[in-house]
Amino acid sequence: MNAIAQLQRMHHGSHFRAFTLRGGEAAEPIDPFLAVDHAWISGPTFPPHPHAGFSAVSYLFPDSKTGIDNRDSLGNRNLIQPGGLHWTAAGRGVMHEEVPAEPGKTVHMLQIFINLPRDRQEAPPFVLSIAPEDIPVVQLPGAKVRVPLGSFAGARSPLVPPTDVSMLDISIEEGAEVRVPVVDGHTAFVMPIDGAVGIDGQPFSLDEQKLPVKLPQGEDRLVTLCAKQGNARAVLFSGVPLRQPVYWQGPLALASAEALAEAIEAYQRGAFGKLQPD
């Protein structure tokens, strides 16, 4: 029997709604992931904000109606297209903002917070990005797997992130099945995105607001996904657990109370920089 985690509904103003998953103390049970928001954003929601100690990753589903205008205090400004991914490794601190590229159109995306190893939390911030057309796609009988992070069936993402993680965007036609091997040393969880998806024989959907964690359960290290009641979509996340403390304050997360206090002080004195005016 798989371990189960609960999704929470989240609303922020009139332009943001999400199903959100949060890790607890030391990010359990989704370590090295800290949080995942399956979100719909239709307008500016969050003003420019700081990050430190982890990576903020944005993945737009190909069905997103518009892209994301992304900018940061490193001077980067880019459009994250539907189907693309952008990774901001905040390290010792960065200012960040994302807004839908076209007013009135809805962005369908994942906002993913991924912990950084303790020895990389004081490193300078940097970004990684991959365009939709550069994400490998594996076609299987009745299924399609996009590989924005990590590898699957001989396809490998060109990104080399600072935390060892994988993310697979899996679309399954009714009656089809996908078997995903999880790399030795990784632990995994699966987030249902659309439709009813069977995961290792158990049914899951967004309506139930729950998902399986601490995968795989079997010695074969395989996770089996299937669609028995119409087409389905799910995202499989996996990574090497960091097993380090997590001290949160707002959008800052560090591995010790002292490091968190230092990050807060650095932000307050302007060390994270500023966004360039529009």
Binding positions: 49, 51, 96, 98
From the CB of residue 1, how many other CB atoms can be counted at a distance below 10 Å? 8
- Binding-site annotation: residue ranges for Fe cation: 49, 51, 96, 98
Closest CA to 136 of 117, 122, 157, 118: 157
DSSP one-letter string for 158-180: S---SS-EEEEEEEE-TT-EEEE
Phi–psi pair at 25, nearest 5 degrees: -60, 130
Contact 23, 30 (CB under 8 A): yes
How many whole angstroms separate alpha carbon 66 and alpha carbon 100? 7
Closest CA to 92 of 129, 51, 35: 51
Separate counts of helices (H) and strands (E) for the chain: 1, 26
Question: Can you tell me whether residue 268 is helix, strand or coil?
Answer: helix
How many whole angstroms separate alpha carbon 56 and alpha carbon 51? 8
Contact 228, 142 (CB under 8 A): no
